[in-house]
Amino acid sequence: MHLLEGEGVCKNFGGLAAVSEVDFYVDEGEIVGLIGPNGAGKTTLFNLISAALKPKPGKIIYKGRDITPLPAYKICRMGIARTFQTVKIFANVPVLRNVMVGSLFGTGKHMSSSEAQKKAQEALDFVGLASLKDTLAGDLTLAQQKRLELARALASDPELLLLDEIMAGLTPTEVAEAMEAITQIRSRGVTVIMIEHVMQAIMKISDRIIVLDYGKKIAEGTPAEMAANPKVIEVYLGEECDA
Amino acid sequence: MKINNLSTTRWVGLGLLLVVLVVLVLLPTITEGYLPVLVTDILKFVILTVAWVLFAAPTGYMSLATGAFYGLGFYIAAVFNGPVPFPIVIIIAGIAGFVVALLVGALTLRLRAAYFCIFTFALVLLISNVVLEVERLVTQTRGRFVETETVEAAYYAMLIIAVLTLVVAWLIRRSRHGLALQSIGEHEEAAAHSGINVTRTKVLVFAVSSVFMGMAGAIIATRRAYIDPGIAFSMNNTFLPVLMAMFGGMGNLLGPVIGAAIFTYIGELLLTRFPDLYMLIFGVVLILAILFMPNGILGLGQQIWAKLRGGRRAPA
Amino acid sequence: MTVLRDIIITGLLLGGIYALVSVGLSLQYGVARVLNISHGEFIMVGAFITYVLFTSSANIHPLISLVIAGLFTFIIGWALHSTLFRRLMDTSPSMEIFEGKSMLASFGLYYVVQNIARIIWGSENRGFVFLNRTVTGAQIPLNRLVALAVVIVIAVAFYLFLSRTRMGKAIRASTQDRTTAGLMGVNIHHVLAICFALGLGLAGIAGSLISTILAIQTSMGLSYVVIAMIVVVLGGLGSITGAMIGGLILGLVSALVTYFQPSMTMIAYYVIFIILLLVRPKGIMGR
């Protein structure tokens, strides 16, 4: 049984088909990369999985259970956590408390305040923000805020983690650190789907890649297969011209 | 050095609070007539303002229904007081406020904030119209007589409810529900994705805040011998707490208390002589407060204090 | 049958007035993003201007003072937006915060305007008699028929304004997408101020009309603004056509309910409102 499955997932905005009959699956323990040009529907797909939007039509199945009608908070408590393309942290709340939102409300189990605080502290240590735990989240740099959002997602004890362009705007060193962190997350038993434009990174750490273009899945396979796939190349580099 | 200062401030604050509480408890025994009535009124607005801020400040959802819940409690006291003992009446008023707020919240808080504002604004008129219609059908009268309570009874009831409101508001702020509320106010979508049942949290806190509004209404009702829907349901009871909160500041619990005290007192002074003029001035003050005092008078004070100390630190 | 005809005419008239008021509110909220709680007070102002001008020694014809009232409230609306709401916009970090603050500021305005009126004119009912005779055959007094005619004229004029003039197109563009409209060369601050001012102008005109057919009080504004809000939700937040349709619907409902049980009219509106929020919150034309 796949950990996560999408069947015939569609989403239209007005007349525009943002996601069009996408079938996909993710298996436990994988790192799956989701790539495609801008506007291909990648973030929309994440939104459909995390219940920010509802597929119309289509089904999302998690651990064998149809989660399509469920609201976002239930999906989080069931074990799917995500970060956002534009960072959505709670600016006027201290860093530790930001992460505690994840551990208090998102794990699906009852957590006492001290348990939640411990878990939040661990997540902060993991992303390297422990020294800033009392700073207001709005006072962090953008890169730090992205790490904070990751910590908050991790604090909710996810089994599946959706990362939306978490490496955008990072320096090469920071990208390498992020890759290392993601690999570590996977080795802790968390399955990861990541949307990325930083090609070297995503090709390097993904077990499998799914490619979207104009809302449709156009290719799927290992990174090596994708790099050689003519449709994928065309989508990124354009057609061969006859000149 | 700084840590020491903070503890000292804490202790001084607590001490002051205790002194104020003792004075308030002893007040009716050491003074007479006018002062307990005035303080009862101040406490009424402390309750209304703190209860309003309790929900509005963290979430940013501005309820305009304060007058509706107040009026509901007011009318319930009018109907039940006498045959039903006073404390029970107050509790019933609180429960009624809770139930109605639960319904209103369940209906509107799952939608955009604008719907909430519009519906709560219409609620005063809605409930007063329903009450009028029921009165017309059931008792064929427009108003009713109320079994009154003494000045002291109303005073102590109001004091107890005011303390209760402040304690509950403080507890909610410190608890995980307070954190949930703040997260909702900061970024509702992210709060939902972090596992917070946003609608349920909003509805519950909104309902809790209206318990106290209903109770305050019930207590004041027992100070009048005769009431009608016009007296019970007034937009003033929605407007004044908003003014007091804006002016006093919504960042903590002290701001609303100060705002309530100041404006109740001024209102009391001017009510008999210039009833229309003073409400006009209050309207202007509200507009000015929104324009120029985003953090209320306390925030303004803090900013001035920080500037005087030549602070390079940003204000809190 | 004449009963039905009278109900329909009254319903259309009331619906037309509700439509005017609600279109005004819709312009203010849909474009300028101000949920104007004081909207009803400017209806009252328009009503009292007409009353004062009619009962004064100048004895000005209501159809003339209608224009005066409309202009007066329009100018006040312009002034208010360019000062108060513009400043609020400039100092608000987000649209959500601006909507909250401007709503509360309009709450303050509600008290300011109503109390100025109360100081000047007191709280009792006022009214004047204008064309109160009935035309042969109809149960409806002439003043109502005239008011209905005026409403239709204004509705047509407004429709033409929106669809044919440049400013009208700018306004329609701004209701759909403010930012893009601005990028397309629309002077958005201009449009916002005009929409807000137009909203108040329509309120003033509506109030003027109301004064010709009903008694007026300084407290009359509240029920109108609540009705306008229900209409705006019914029609769809931000849709001007929706506000017109919603206004007509509520007007007809009102005429119908009033015929059987006048005291239930407001309650009928609330029932519609609650059902709307339960079943289709985005309203008739809502996006």
Confidence of residue C2 (pLDDT cuts 50, 70, 90): confident
Confidence of residue C46 (pLDDT cuts 50, 70, 90): very high
Q: Are C37 and B238 in contact (CB under 8 A)?
A: no
Which residues of chain A are within 8 Å of residue B196 when distances are taken between CB atoms?
Answer: 73, 101, 105
Cα B111 to Cα A55, C69, C154, C281, distances in angstroms: 20, 37, 34, 8
Do B195 and A97 make contact, defined as CB atoms within 8 angstroms? no
pLDDT digits (tens, 9 = 90+) for A188-241: 999 999 998 888 888 899 999 999 988 899 989 998 888 888 888 888 766 555
Residue B227: its H or E element: strand B226-227
pLDDT digits (tens, 9 = 90+) for A170-188: 888 989 999 999 999 999 9
pLDDT of residue B2: 47
Please state, rounded to an integer, the average pLDDT across all residues of chain B: 89
Q: Which pTM was predicted?
A: 0.91
Cα A127 to Cα A145, A146, B235, distances in angstroms: 11, 10, 51
- Candidate from A34-48, B133-147, B192-206, B242-256 with smallest mean pLDDT: B133-147
pLDDT of residue A29: 92
Q: Name residues whose C-beta falls within 8 Å of residue A120's C-beta, 6 or more positions apart in sequence.
A: A96, A99, A100, A102, A103, A151, A155
Pick among B194, B196, B198, B295 to test the A interface (most A CBs inside 10 A): B194
Contact status of A119 with chain B (Cβ, < 8 Å): no
SS3 of chain A? CCCEEEEEEEEEECCEEEEEEEEEEECCCCEEEEECCCCCCHHHHHHHHCCCCCCCCCEEEECCEECCCCCHHHHHHHCEEECCCCCCCCCCCEHHHHHHHHHHHCCCCCCCHHHHHHHHHHHHHHHCCHHHCCCEHHHCCHHHHHHHHHHHHHHCCCCEEEEECCCCCCCHHHHHHHHHHHHHHHHCCCEEEEECCCHHHHHHHCCEEEEEECCEEEEEECHHHHHHCHHHHHHHHCCCCCC
End-to-end CA distance of chain C: 39
pLDDT digits (tens, 9 = 90+) for B240-295: 999 999 999 998 889 999 999 999 999 988 888 888 888 999 999 999 999 998 88
Domain boundaries along the sequence of chain C:
2-123+136-279
Selected from 1.10.8, 3.30.565, 1.10.3470, 1.10.10, the CATH number assigned to the domain covering C2-123+136-279 reads: 1.10.3470
| pLDDT average, residue stretch A139-163 | 94
Copy the structure tokens of residue C36.
């104007």
DSSP B315: P
pLDDT digits (tens, 9 = 90+) for A42-92: 999 999 999 989 988 899 999 999 999 999 999 999 999 999 999 999 999
Confidence of residue B48 (pLDDT cuts 50, 70, 90): very high
Residue A54 φ/ψ, nearest 5 degrees:
-110, 135
Which residues of chain A are within 8 Å of residue B192 when distances are taken between CB atoms?
Answer: 71-73, 76
Do C229 and B121 make contact, defined as CB atoms within 8 angstroms? yes
Q: What sign has the CA pseudo-torsion A166, A171, A174, A179?
A: positive
Confidence of residue C262 (pLDDT cuts 50, 70, 90): confident
Which residues of chain B are within 8 Å of residue C270 when distances are taken between CB atoms?
Answer: 122, 126, 129
Contact status of B60 with chain C (Cβ, < 8 Å): yes
Tell me which chains share at least 3 CB pairs under 8 Å with chain B. Answer: A, C
Give the span between the Cα atoms of B294 and C167, in whole angstroms.
35
Do A91 and B183 make contact, defined as CB atoms within 8 angstroms? no
| pLDDT average, residue stretch C138-156 | 82
Confidence of residue C134 (pLDDT cuts 50, 70, 90): low
pLDDT digits (tens, 9 = 90+) for B99-131: 999 999 999 999 988 999 999 999 999 999 998
| pLDDT average, residue stretch C26-53 | 93
pLDDT of residue C187: 79
Nearest to A88 among B180, B190, B195 (CB): B190
| pLDDT average, residue stretch A14-29 | 89
Tell me which chains share at least 3 CB pairs under 8 Å with chain A. Answer: B
Q: Name residues whose C-beta falls within 8 Å of residue B305's C-beta, 6 or more positions apart in sequence.
A: none
Which residues of chain B are within 8 Å of residue A97 when distances are taken between CB atoms?
Answer: 179
| pLDDT average, residue stretch B145-150 | 82
Q: What ipTM was reported for this prediction?
A: 0.91
